Amino acid sequence: MPMASPATRPTPAPGPEVRTGPSGERPGGSGPELDVEAVRAHFPILHQEVNGNPLVYLDNAATSQKPLAVIEALEGFYRRDNANVHRGLHELSRRSTERYEGARGHVASWLGVEDPGEVIWTRGATEAINLVARSWGDSHLSEGDEILLTELEHHSNLVPWQMLAARTGARLRYLELDDQGELILDELPRILEGGRVRIAAISQVSNALGTLNPVAEIARQVKAHGGLVLVDGAQGAAHAPVRIPELGVDFYAFSGHKMCGPTGIGVLWARRELLEAMEPYQGGGDMIDEVHRDHSTWAQLPYKFEAGTPNISGAVGLAEAVRYLNAVGAERILAHEQRLVRRTMEALEAMPGIRLFGPSDPARRAGVVSFTMKGTHPHDIATILDSEGVAIRAGHHCAQLVMKRYGVAATARASFYLYNSDADVDRLVESLATVQEIFG
């Protein structure tokens, strides 16, 4: 395999300037509030009928839809530039490498970090968290050490740590939830006082309740006691503004598909000195410097953690998604989601038998509303809504600890994104009336 040595690899270029909408204007309009109709025009999938009704897509916490800019970036890559990266000495390989590394640089600058070598491509948040649990965890933890988690975590940010604890003898500690779906920070000093918490793994935004967690504050306290902090940004990167230096954390994991990008691509960001001290997660092509009969040496960052042919088009698509979201503006998107949450909560509070989960103040959450309806199971709610073209999720949302905390097996969950409108909320509410009529 003719492989360029790490030293001759192109230095990841800083990302191109934020591109504006298709016709040059800012996507989502130039006003302080999002122009939803303008945004919706960028998402072809939304313009279809499902079960005889216009689609209302409210399952964004599971995965988001893709704007034309992303769909066209993927298509354009495969039509013009596709080749393997870092290998061939031909034109297409050069272009492909440039786009792949350009994407890395673009994501780095969007995260607010200077060193693109700290941006590792992964399959998603799950793989990024597993990478840290393996590569950092296995060599840094032993019996007596503690891993701090929260009751709010997605299984992706629980199970890898449980597996690590089983391998190393480390102990799991938990920050608990109050009745409002907020982490009880008052317990943190007591947990940290023992001086044994080596790493805290916490989500920035809860996928089950929508809670915006005070990650910067938690990170400050954990770090003051000598621990590291990993943030699960699977929802955070999609729904909240992200500037890594302001969060003050050590590892940040997220998935492209939740934020208008393709599936199968995500990112682990980590501080260079941590990554330098970690062993590779997987072995293979592209992650080595020299290979001998009995040993090999590792490539420089970030390639040390990217064994095998990567998801090149995924990286290109994710960078395009970042460009698009950035042009719309994370603050505007969050404010828009919070408006939709408020509208939904007000309507649901007026319906009999509805129980809402999570913070009662919409300003304390991103675009998620989890609820149950007395006498009707969430799956039946989802089936009836689907028959009217309204897509929501029902179940435990990969957050069984949250379900246990509130004494339910499942909830129904409507989750919003930039392209959802007031009309979508109204359709949700109307369809819930159908549910109540059927189940009486």
Ligand X SMILES: Cc1ncc(COP(=O)(O)O)c(C=O)c1O
Catalytic residues: 398
DSSP line for 329-357: -HHHHHHHHHHHHHHHHHHHHTSTTEEEE
Q: Give the residue with the Cβ less far from ligand X, 125 or 373.
A: 125
Q: Give the residue with the Cβ less far from other proteins, 218 or 384.
A: 384
Cα 202 to the center of its chain, rounded Å: 12
DSSP line for 216-258: HHHHHHHHHTT-EEEEE-TTHHHHS---HHHHT-SEEEEEGGG
Residue 416 φ/ψ region, left for φ over 0, alpha for ψ in the -120 to 50 degree band, beta for the rest: beta
Q: Least distance in Å: CB of 380 to other proteins?
A: 5
Beta strands in 87-242 (DSSP E): 119-122, 146-150, 171-175, 197-203, 228-232
Query: Does 411 participate in binding ligand X (rule CB under 6 A)?
Result: no
Q: Give the residue with the Cβ less far from ligand X, 218 or 299.
A: 218
What are 88's strand-pairing partners? none
Query: Does 379 participate in binding other proteins (rule CB under 8 A)?
Result: yes
Query: Does 255 participate in binding ligand X (rule CB under 6 A)?
Result: yes
> Which among 177-185, 274-282, 348-356, 374-382 is the span making contact with other proteins, rule CB under 8 A?
374-382
CA distances from 399 to 206, 362, 408, 411 (A): 9, 21, 11, 11
- Residue 364, binding choice from ligand X, other proteins, none, Cβ under 5 to 8 Å by partner class: none
> Which among 159-167, 285-293, 321-329, 392-400 is the span making contact with other proteins, rule CB under 8 A?
392-400
Task: Return the residue of 376, 415, 420, 421 that touches other proteins, per CB under 8 A.
Answer: 376
Coil/strand/helix, residue 125: helix
Q: Give the residue with the Cβ less far from other proteins, 296 or 387.
A: 387
Task: Return the residue of 40, 377, 391, 406 that touches other proteins, per CB under 8 A.
Answer: 377
Please report how many Cα atoms fall inside a 13 Å half-sphere around the Cα of residue 355, on the Cβ side: 15
> Which among 55-63, 133-141, 319-327, 384-392 is the span making contact with other proteins, rule CB under 8 A?
384-392
> Which among 36-44, 199-207, 239-247, 432-440 is the span making contact with other proteins, rule CB under 8 A?
432-440
Query: Does 396 participate in binding other proteins (rule CB under 8 A)?
Result: yes
Q: How many CB atoms lie within 10 A of CB 272?
A: 13
Beta strands in 12-117 (DSSP E): 49-50, 53-54, 56-57
Query: Does 207 participate in binding ligand X (rule CB under 6 A)?
Result: yes
Instruction: Report 127-156 residues binding ligand X (CB under 6 A).
Output: 154, 156
Q: Least distance in Å: CB of 294 to ligand X?
A: 35
User: Are 81 and 92 within 8 A, CB to CB?
Assistant: yes
- Residue 157, binding choice from ligand X, other proteins, none, Cβ under 5 to 8 Å by partner class: ligand X
Q: What angle do CA 365, 20, 48 make, to 5 degrees?
A: 65
Task: Return the residue of 109, 130, 203, 421 that touches ligand X, per CB under 6 A.
Answer: 203
> Which among 147-155, 222-230, 292-300, 390-398 is the span making contact with other proteins, rule CB under 8 A?
390-398
Task: Return the residue of 102, 105, 124, 367 that touches ligand X, per CB under 6 A.
Answer: 124
Q: Sign (positive/negative) of CA torsion 296, 301, 304, 308?
A: negative
Q: Looking at residue 418, what DSSP letter applies?
A: T
User: Residue 422 and residue 344: Cα distance in Å, rounded?
Assistant: 9
Judged on CB neighbours under 10 Å (0-12, 13-18, 19+), 269 is: buried
Contacts with ligand X by CB under 6 A lie at 61, 124-126, 154, 156-157, 203, 207, 232, 234-235, 255, 398
Contacts with other proteins by CB under 8 A lie at 51-52, 375-380, 383-384, 387-388, 394-396, 400, 403, 409-410, 433-434, 437-440
